[in-house]
Amino acid sequence: MNRNQAIDFFRGLFLIIMMVDHLLIFGFGALFFIYNYSFQMFGFVSAAEGFVFISGLMCGMVYGKVALRSLDEFKSKLLSRLKLIYIYHFRAISLIAIMFAIPQLNSLWQLTWDGKLALWKQAPIKAWFHGITLLYQTSFVDVLPLYLMLMFGLLISMPYLLKAKPWQFLAVSISLWFAGQFFPQEAFGQSIGHLLGWFEVLSWQLLFFGAAYLGLQHIRGHKIPINNHAFGFAVITSLVLFYIRHFHLSQAEAIGLNLFNVRTLGLGRILNFISLGYAIYFLSARGLVRFSLAAINILGRNSLKVFSVHLVIVYFTGFLKPWISAQGLMIQLGLFGVSILSLYLPMIYSELLVALKRPSKMALKT
């Protein structure tokens, strides 16, 4: 299957936005004013929604095509992907644990919000073990476990998705989403004394499986209709929610916090995402805007590697926060820029490996 440049572009864009937001939270407090604009910059939609949706869409298109051919082959390929995701999660958790196990770095760590990050500092080996068993999912390291659980859900449900009618799929997915509004994952985690991640899986499955179903329908030839009236409604809705997000956020939160809740994927967020997503789809399908930029696309093509590196870099800047905070604004901006450019390290490393394995011209002559 030929790669979709727009999908790679948005994947890469979401990775950059996540890196910016997470760096501002962990290591660059003096630049936190940027966070007011980078986080949910398009309204009540964050990079997480986009990342989960695109992952589901790609799963539906790629693995759905395999499943239509052979369910056994589908299971084999998806299990291989699950294994790869876990390997990257394991590596990221291990590198974070190693940093906390170094006394000189450990002593610099100051981020202990609500005690959620305290275990890393107090008992890095225990935190590592609970991290690799998915029982300790602190800030940002809960994304790959979420992806693992959603992919595992796809492994089980694909035979039913292939046969399900739209109303049947929606009935099940919306019911699970509704159950997620009551924070069952958080309650279960508290009952067993573990931190099971920030995102309620039952709620977020709606976005992932909705996208997977669309991807599956796409390869069957059923594409989303392009309608001018729907586009107009989507644009107006997106603009209204954008205005509320950036100019009346406190009032919106006071009126209905659950409506825009990130953890449970509130109804307002779903409406915002669908509106914004359809507007982008319309512009792309009509050929009015081409969403592609080589420097961003390459990040999207290597999203799993890039996301894992981003985790390690963000936690590393957390150790450096006291030193970073003591620097001037221009130096902090420079360090911030270098940290973002570090997203390209996986590709640089891959190119170096290829160059080292490639025989030199001198060797060829001899």
Q: Is the pLDDT of residue 253 over 60?
A: no
SS3 207: helix
pLDDT of residue 364: 47
User: Cβ-count burial of 329 within 10 angstroms (0-12 exposed, 13-18 middle, 19+ buried)?
Assistant: exposed
Closest CA to 169 of 135, 198, 208: 208
pLDDT digits (tens, 9 = 90+) for 206-225: 999 999 999 999 999 888 99
Q: How far apart are CA 356 and CA 258, in angstroms?
A: 53
Q: Is the pLDDT of residue 262 over 50?
A: yes
Within-domain flag for 234 = no
pLDDT of residue 163: 87
pLDDT of residue 3: 75
> Which residues form the domain of 296?
5-225+292-365
pLDDT of residue 76: 96
Task: Decide if 216 contacts 74 (C-beta within 8 A).
Answer: no
Task: Decide if 10 contacts 300 (C-beta within 8 A).
Answer: yes
pLDDT of residue 362: 46
Within-domain flag for 193 = yes
Q: Give the pLDDT mean for 82-102.
A: 96
Within-domain flag for 273 = no
What's the mean per-residue pLDDT of the chain? Answer: 89
Q: Is the pLDDT of residue 317 over 80?
A: yes
**Residue 79 backbone dihedrals phi, psi, to 5 degrees:** -65, -40
Within-domain flag for 303 = yes
Q: Give the pLDDT mean for 215-241.
A: 93
CA angle 123, 126, 130 (to 5 degrees): 135
Q: Is the pLDDT of residue 256 over 70?
A: no
How many structural domains does the chain have? 1
Look up residue 59 and give its two tokens.
């799963």
Within-domain flag for 53 = yes
SS3 136: strand
